[in-house]
Structure 1
Amino acid sequence: MGFHFRFGPGDLLRCRFSLSPRWETQEAVRVLLRPQRQSYHLPWLRQVRAAAAGLDLRPLWLLMPTKGHNPDFLSPPPLGPSVTFEEELARVRAADPEAAREDLRRSLACTPGALESEIGRRMLADPARAVRELADLYERAWEALVAPHWPRLRGLLEADVLFHSRRLAAGGLEALFDGLHPDLHWQEDTGTLTIDKHGHHDRTLDGQGLLLMPSAFVWPEVVGGYDPPWQPTLVYPARGIGALWTASASPAPDALAHLLGRGRAEVLCALHEPASTTALAHRLGLAPSTVSTHLKTLRAAGLLVPSRHGHQVLYERTPLGIALASGSPTGDVPV
C-alpha cells in the first residue's frame, strides 16, 4: 500500500520546485467541497462566499473523488519554475479530446453515480466540448476565488520554495523530504520516496526527476502521482499557512521608524518571510514603486539580501536586519 516514487541516479539531480496558480485554483475549488480542509481558510471563505455562490462548480466537483483518479489533463505539471495562469490554462485547452474522454471516464468512475449523471454523460458524449467548458469554468474560478489573493498566496509559496531549496542544498533529499510532510518517508538505500496513502501507485522516475509544488489549499494532505507521460509530481502543504489570512504586519516600532523612516521600517518588519516587491506591496497596501525604492535603500544599508527564484526576486533580512526589526542586539542573533 502507499504511493512510491523510485529514484535512479539521474533523478537525484533533477528534482525541481515550481508554483502553479492553476493548481491553487483547483485546490481552492476543492476546499469549497471539503469541510475538513477549511479550518485555515475561514477568512478567505468569508471573502469569496458571494463570488463562489455565482459559480456552478458541480462539473469540477464531480471530477474530484474522495479517493481515486483526478483527470491529469486538467492539471498538467508546470513546465517552468514560475508560470502564469494563462499559460497553464492554454495547455488545458490544448488537451486531446479522445485522451481527455478516457481521463474523464476514469475519474467519474471513482464517484458512485457520476458516470450515469447528466453532467457525466454530457462530458463523455462530447469530450472536446467538455475540455472547453471545464477550462472556461476554471478561468471563472481563478478570477473569482484566487486572482484577487494571488500576490499574498504567491508570496507564501515563494518563501516556502526558498526555505526548502536551502534544506535540499544543505542536507540533500533526506533533509528535504523529512521536513515536507509527516506522511513522507525517504529510504536512502533503495532511493524510494513513499507517501502513506490508501491505494497503490508505483512510479519509476526514469530520469525525469521529481517536481515539487507547495500549495496553500492542499492542506492537510500531500498529493503525489501523474501517470506517464506527465512528469512525476509531489504537492505538499506550504509552510506558514496558519498565518496566511491574518491581518497585515503590525506597525513598525516608533524607535525603528525614527531611525529608518516609517516606510522603510514597515518594509523591514514585514519581511518575516522572504518576499517579492509585489507581495510586499500587496501586504502593506503600498505602490510597488514605493516598496522598490525602500528595498533598494535597505539593501544598500546591508539590512536585506536578494535572491532569485525563476522570474521573481525575493528579499530577506540579513542578521543585522533581523536584529533591528526584532529589537535584539546583534550579538543575540544566531549566525
Structure 2
Amino acid sequence: MPSRLRFGDDDFLRCRFAVSPIWETQEAVRTLKRPDRHGYHVPWLRRIRDAATTLDLTPLWLLMPRRGHSPDWLGPPPIGPAATFEEEIAAVRASDPEAAREDTAQSLACTPGALESEHGRAWLADPARMVRELADAMEEAWRVLVEPEWHRLRALLEADVAYHSRRLAEVGLGTLLPELDRRLSWDGRTLTLALGIEYVRDLGGQGLVLMPSVFSWPEVITGFEPPWQPTVVYPARGIAGLWTEPGARTPEPLVRLLGRNRATVLAALDEPATTTALAHRLALAPSSVSAHLTVLREAGLLTARRYGHQVLYERTPLGMALTAGQPT
C-alpha cells in the first residue's frame, strides 16, 4: 500500500527544504518510547536519562500511536525554512481549539481506550485547555531533551539541506527525490513512498517541503492533511556520527601538522557546520573557532558559503585528504 503525492505544474516551482525544532522535539519524545529507534542515539539517551525523569510525557505519548494518526496541529510541518522553536510553539499555541479537538480525536481513536481515558475526555470537553496543556508539555520537552543539543542537531540538519540543495542544482528534482531514501520513487508527476500505508494527495500548487530529521530515523513520514503544507520527512545524512565526540577522531599526524585545536576543528567538519555549532560541539570559544576557520580557509582546506543568515564551513578535497591521511 504505497503513498502517493501528485505534482501539478506549479508544484515544481514551490518545493523547498526546511528544518523544524518542534518536529525534532516531538520525535525525540517518541524515540524515548521506541526501542527500535535507539540504535544511533544511545549516547543521547544516556545523557538525558536523569533529566527525562522530571518530565511527564504520558499526555504526549497518548497521541503517538505506533501505527496511526498523530495530531498535525501539535507537530505541524515547518512554518518557514529556518523557524525557531519559539516561533513554532507560538503557532501551536495559536491553534484553533475546535480544529485541534477534531484532529486530536482522530489520533485518540488509534489507541484502544484513549478516547475514554482521563486525558482524552478532558481534552475533548475543553479543547482550549487541551491546546495550552499540550503546548506546555511540548515546550518543557524541548527545554529538557532537545534544546541542550540543538546546536549539534541543527548543524547536522543544515548540512543535510546544504548537501541536498547542491544535489538538486546538479541533477534536478526527479533524480534527487529517490536519493533522499530508497523508499521514494519518481515517475515524472508522482512521488511514491513505499511506507506500508495508503495515502494519496494532490499537492494543488502548494509544492512540497522536504525536511531532514534526526529523531525520525529510520522512518520516512508524510500524510499531513489539508490545510497543512504537504511535507516529506526523511532521515538526515550523517546520523551515525552525530553523537561521536570530534576530538576522539582527530588523527595524530594532523595534530602534529596543524596543532591540536586547529586539527580538531578540521576533523570535526565531517559535514558542513557553522562557527557557533562547532564552538558548542568542541567546547571552544566562538572567537577561537572563528580564527581557526579563517586560517584553514586561507590555507585552502575549507570553503565557506552562506545559508540563510549563517555561514557554513566545509572541507575542500585537500582538507578531506588530510583528515583521511591520504595523499592528494
Same topology, TM > 0.5: yes
Aligned pairs for 1:157-196 (under 5 A) are 157-188=157-188, 191-196=189-194
8 Å CA contact 1:304–1:315 kept in 2: the answer is yes
Residue in structure 2 matched with residue 264 of structure 1 by the alignment: 262
Distance 1:231 1:251 in 2: 40
Q: Kindly provide the amino acid, as one letter, of the partner of residue 90 in structure 2.
A: A
How far off is 1:230 after superposition?
1.1
Distance 1:73 1:147 in 2: 21
Residue in structure 2 matched with residue 7 of structure 1 by the alignment: 7
How far off is 1:121 after superposition?
0.5
CA displacement, residues 87-137 of structure 1 (integer Å, 9 cap, x when unaligned) = 100000000111111111111111111101111001111110010010100
Q: Secondary structure at the match of 2:205?
A: coil
Note closer, same or farther for the CA distance 1:255–1:34 as it changes in structure 2 (3 Å cut): closer
Q: Kindly provide the amino acid, as one letter, of the partner of residue 71 in structure 1.
A: P
Q: Which has the higher mean CA deviation after the structures are superposed, 83-92 or 153-162?
A: 153-162
CA displacement, residues 150-188 of structure 1 (integer Å, 9 cap, x when unaligned) = 111111111111111122111112321222122211112
Note closer, same or farther for the CA distance 1:301–1:45 as it changes in structure 2 (3 Å cut): same
Residue in structure 2 matched with residue 203 of structure 1 by the alignment: 201
Confirm or deny that 1:324 pairs with 2:325. no
Q: Which has the higher mean CA deviation after the structures are superposed, 2-11 or 296-305?
A: 296-305
Q: Which has the higher mean CA deviation after the structures are superposed, 195-204 or 5-14?
A: 195-204
Residue in structure 2 matched with residue 143 of structure 1 by the alignment: 143
Note closer, same or farther for the CA distance 1:62–1:151 as it changes in structure 2 (3 Å cut): same
Q: Which has the higher mean CA deviation after the structures are superposed, 33-42 or 113-122?
A: 33-42
Q: Kindly provide the amino acid, as one letter, of the partner of residue 82 in structure 1.
A: A
Distance 2:5 2:275 in 1: 36
How far off is 1:251 after superposition?
6.0
- Equivalent position to 2:219, from 201, 204, 221: 221
Q: Secondary structure at the match of 1:141?
A: helix
Q: Kindly provide the amino acid, as one letter, of the partner of residue 23 in structure 1.
A: W
Q: Kindly provide the amino acid, as one letter, of the partner of residue 297 in structure 2.
A: R
Confirm or deny that 1:315 pairs with 2:310. no
Aligned pairs for 1:36-185 (under 5 A) are 36-185=36-185
Distance 2:240 2:319 in 1: 24
Distance 1:256 1:40 in 2: 27
TM-score of the pair, normalised by structure 2: 0.95
Report percent identity of matched pairs.
Answer: 65
Q: Kindly provide the amino acid, as one letter, of the partner of residue 270 in structure 1.
A: A
How far off is 1:253 after superposition?
4.3
TM-score of the pair, normalised by structure 1: 0.93
Residue in structure 1 matched with residue 35 of structure 2 by the alignment: 35
Confirm or deny that 1:233 pairs with 2:231. yes
Distance 2:254 2:240 in 1: 27
Q: Which has the higher mean CA deviation after the structures are superposed, 144-153 or 195-204?
A: 195-204
Note closer, same or farther for the CA distance 1:253–1:37 as it changes in structure 2 (3 Å cut): closer
8 Å CA contact 1:76–1:91 kept in 2: the answer is no
Q: Which has the higher mean CA deviation after the structures are superposed, 92-101 or 259-268?
A: 259-268
- Equivalent position to 2:243, from 237, 242, 245: 245
CA RMSD, Structure 1 to Structure 2 (Å): 1.5
How far off is 1:254 after superposition?
4.9
How far off is 1:258 after superposition?
4.5
Q: Secondary structure at the match of 1:92?
A: helix
Runs ≥4 residues deviating over 6 A:
none
CA displacement, residues 58-85 of structure 1 (integer Å, 9 cap, x when unaligned) = 1111111122221111122222211111
8 Å CA contact 1:16–1:210 kept in 2: the answer is yes
Note closer, same or farther for the CA distance 1:265–1:197 as it changes in structure 2 (3 Å cut): closer
Distance 2:175 2:289 in 1: 35
